[in-house]
């Protein structure tokens, strides 16, 4: 017997009899002989919970966790404080063992938190409408670009090299399949080169995409980039934002952004080696019927009671099939619940305080690390909680030395930007302490 399979041998016999069969094998009589697998699968036999956890613990032990290291790694995924309430709520199996809320009568829990999530994302971004989430920040950028192309019937996408390199790779993968043209506009002094952008934007431009703060941690001038973008006819201005930074920065909705997307991982989602995370997308009313993904709306029931349902589904694949706005058939359900609980737990004051501490600690680290002149700023521009430093040392060697002191160093920018050899991108969140930052500075200083 297996713990998750309740039928007993006696049950099996009784049920087979009802069906008019004699053996379990007969249930598979319809599989032709030349397709039937005539051997056992070549994977190990079943195991007990104790054996499985012992084995998986031994694998886990081959990782290092950020609870034993001090991390200054960011580059798209961030080590923020996650309040205990988040896991308490997302561990409730009424939430995580449910399916997509197609039956609203017994899914009001899921539907309402998605409605709250959409509201919170709108408040944070200053936009009119948000969907119920997408796979992650990178694919959200691609979905936004595809939406801009489909609604403008144009095929050229301009994207800044200040956008996360892996997001640009995803965009290129999809664009290739749809025969869309992706044009990269370079950065200058660490920010999107506005002069170059101005030359590229034309009436053929479906979308201009930037990231804020950009991949180097620098704050982009969304307002003036938006003005350039909008010189193209029906060109959408898309910004990928860090939601924590919105605790302090002007809302994209006030700055002329048409579609706001982003990676929601900083909002209470564990790092988990890269996923699952949370893509979000918010936009203006005009795009309401063009949005990809699920949307929850408010309505009333037979008794006039406020209730929530999946709505505007005429955009979606199960109704529209090949004419759908996207093939997406899920949202990040339980992760959007984590982000919702995080946003309301931190609330009005908290999100601002987290953002403020990030900025102040990052700037303190920047000052300490650059004090002696051994490590120089790569750029001189206002940044949020990440900054790039350059030296004559190989980044991997630096990080190796830091590892000996239980510090996980920054991201090697040279991996994706060959022109920035020996440059490191450091991220500092509210979790880092003065003592940890001072130690980073002193270890770096001591490296020969």
Site for another protein in 294-353 (CB under 8 A): 294-303, 305-309, 311-314, 316-324, 326-335, 337, 341, 343-353
Query: How far apart (Å, rounded) are the C-alpha atoms in residues 245 and 411?
Result: 20
**Rounded to the nearest 5°, which phi and psi values hold at 418?**
-55, -25
Local structure of 91: helix, strand or coil = coil
Identified binder of another protein from the candidate list 95, 231, 256, 405, rule CB under 8 A: 95
Q: Restricting to residues 17-76, name those near another protein by CB under 8 A.
A: 18-21, 24, 27-32, 34-37, 40-47, 49, 52-53, 55-57, 59-67, 69, 71, 73, 75-76
Cα-to-chain-centroid distance, residue 286: 25
- For another protein (CB under 8 A), the number of binding residues is 202
CB of 19 to another protein, least distance (A): 5
CA dihedral sign of residues 202, 204, 208, 209: negative
Comparison of 299 and 372: residue with beta carbon closer to another protein: 299
Comparison of 258 and 263: residue with beta carbon closer to another protein: 263
**Options 86-94, 152-160, 190-198, 235-243: segment touching another protein (CB under 8 A):** 86-94
β-bridge mates for residue 383, sequence order: 218
Q: Restricting to residues 255-294, name those near another protein by CB under 8 A.
A: 263, 270-277, 288, 294
CB of 58 to another protein, least distance (A): 8
Q: Restricting to residues 133-192, name those near another protein by CB under 8 A.
A: 133, 135-139, 146, 164, 166-167, 169-170, 172-174, 176-179
| 112 interacts with another protein by CB under 8 A | yes
**Options 126-134, 191-199, 201-209, 236-244: segment touching another protein (CB under 8 A):** 126-134
Query: How far apart (Å, rounded) are the C-alpha atoms in residues 414 and 421?
Result: 5
Please write down the long-range contacts of 283-287, taking CB distance under 8 Å and 24 or more positions apart: 283/127, 283/128, 283/129, 283/130, 283/258, 283/259, 284/127, 284/128, 284/129, 284/258, 285/128, 285/129, 287/129, 287/147, 287/151, 287/258, 287/259
Q: Is 269 exposed, middle or buried (0-12, 13-18, 19+ CB in 10 A)?
A: buried
- Please give the radius of gyration of the chain, using alpha carbons only, rounded to the nearest integer: 25
Q: Restricting to residues 195-224, name those near another protein by CB under 8 A.
A: 219, 221, 223
CB of 404 to another protein, least distance (A): 12
Q: Could you tell me the strand order of the sheet in which 386-390 lies?
A: 376-377, 386-390, 423-427, 411-412
Identified binder of another protein from the candidate list 183, 184, 200, 382, rule CB under 8 A: 382
Comparison of 204 and 313: residue with beta carbon closer to another protein: 313
Identified binder of another protein from the candidate list 189, 202, 356, 394, rule CB under 8 A: 356
CB of 81 to another protein, least distance (A): 7
CB of 41 to another protein, least distance (A): 4
With CA atoms as reference, report the closest residue to 193 among 154, 158, 166, 245. Answer: 158
CB of 85 to another protein, least distance (A): 5
Strands 236-241 and 205-212, bridge-based pairing: parallel
Contact call for residues 219 and 212 (beta carbons, < 8 A)? yes
Query: How far apart (Å, rounded) are the C-alpha atoms in residues 375 and 391?
Result: 5
CB of 314 to another protein, least distance (A): 7
Identified binder of another protein from the candidate list 217, 243, 247, 262, rule CB under 8 A: 247
Comparison of 6 and 418: residue with beta carbon closer to another protein: 6
CB of 249 to another protein, least distance (A): 6
Take residue 44 and report the two structure tokens written for it: 């190990």
| Virtual torsion, Cα 11, 17, 18, 19, nearest 10 deg | 110
Query: How far apart (Å, rounded) are the C-alpha atoms in residues 441 and 275?
Result: 30
Comparison of 235 and 326: residue with beta carbon closer to another protein: 326
| 395 interacts with another protein by CB under 8 A | no
CB of 215 to another protein, least distance (A): 13
| 194 interacts with another protein by CB under 8 A | no
292: Cβ–Cβ under 8 A, 6 or more apart, which residues? Answer: 131, 134, 143, 146, 147, 281, 315, 325, 326, 328
CB of 352 to another protein, least distance (A): 6
């Amino acid at each position: 017997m297996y713990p998750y399979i309740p039928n007993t041998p006696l049950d099996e016999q009784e049920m087979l009899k009802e069906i008019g069969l004699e053996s379990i094998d007969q249930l598979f009589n319809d599989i032709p002989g030349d397709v039937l697998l005539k051997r056992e699968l070549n994977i190990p036999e079943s195991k007990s919970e104790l054996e499985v956890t012992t084995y998986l613990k031994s694998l886990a032990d081959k990782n290092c966790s950020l609870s034993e290291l001090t991390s200054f790694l960011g580059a798209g995924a961030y080590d923020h404080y996650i309040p205990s309430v988040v896991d308490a709520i997302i561990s409730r199996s009424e939430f995580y063992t449910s399916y997509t809320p197609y039956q609203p009568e017994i899914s009001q829990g899921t539907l309402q938190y998605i409605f709250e999530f959409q509201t919170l994302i709108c408040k944070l971004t200053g936009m009119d409408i948000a969907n119920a989430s997408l796979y992650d920040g990178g694919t959200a950028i691609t979905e936004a670009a595809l939406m801009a192309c489909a609604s403008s019937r144009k095929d050229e996408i301009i994207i800044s090299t200040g956008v996360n390199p892996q997001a640009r790779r995803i965009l290129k993968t999809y664009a290739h399949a749809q025969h869309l043209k992706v044009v990269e506009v370079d950065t200058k002094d660490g920010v999107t080169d506005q002069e170059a952008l101005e030359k590229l934007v034309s009436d053929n431009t479906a979308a201009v995409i930037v990231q804020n703060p950009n991949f180097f941690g620098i704050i982009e001038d969304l307002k003036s980039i938006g003005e350039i973008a909008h010189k193209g006819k029906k060109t959408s201005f898309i910004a990928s934002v860090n939601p924590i930074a919105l605790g302090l920065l002007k809302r994209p909705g006030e700055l002329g952004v048409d579609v706001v997307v982003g990676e929601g991982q900083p909002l209470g989602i564990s790092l988990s080696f890269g996923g699952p995370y949370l893509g979000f997308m918010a936009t203006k009313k005009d795009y309401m019927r063009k949005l990809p993904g699920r949307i929850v709306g408010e309505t009333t029931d037979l008794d006039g009671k406020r209730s929530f349902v999946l709505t505007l589904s005429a955009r979606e694949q199960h109704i529209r099939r090949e004419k759908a706005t996207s093939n997406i058939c899920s949202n990040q359900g339980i992760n959007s619940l984590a982000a919702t609980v995080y946003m309301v737990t931190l609330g009005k004051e908290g999100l601002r305080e987290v953002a403020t501490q990030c900025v102040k600690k990052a700037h303190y680290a920047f000052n300490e690390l650059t004090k002696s002149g051994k490590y120089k700023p790569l750029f001189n521009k206002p940044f949020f909680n990440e900054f790039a430093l350059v030296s004559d040392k190989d980044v991997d060697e630096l990080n190796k030395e830091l590892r000996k002191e239980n510090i996980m160093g920054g991201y090697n920018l040279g991996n994706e930007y060959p022109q920035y050899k020996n440059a490191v991108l450091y991220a500092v969140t509210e979790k880092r302490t003065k003592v940890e930052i001072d130690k980073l500075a002193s270890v770096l200083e001591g490296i020969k």
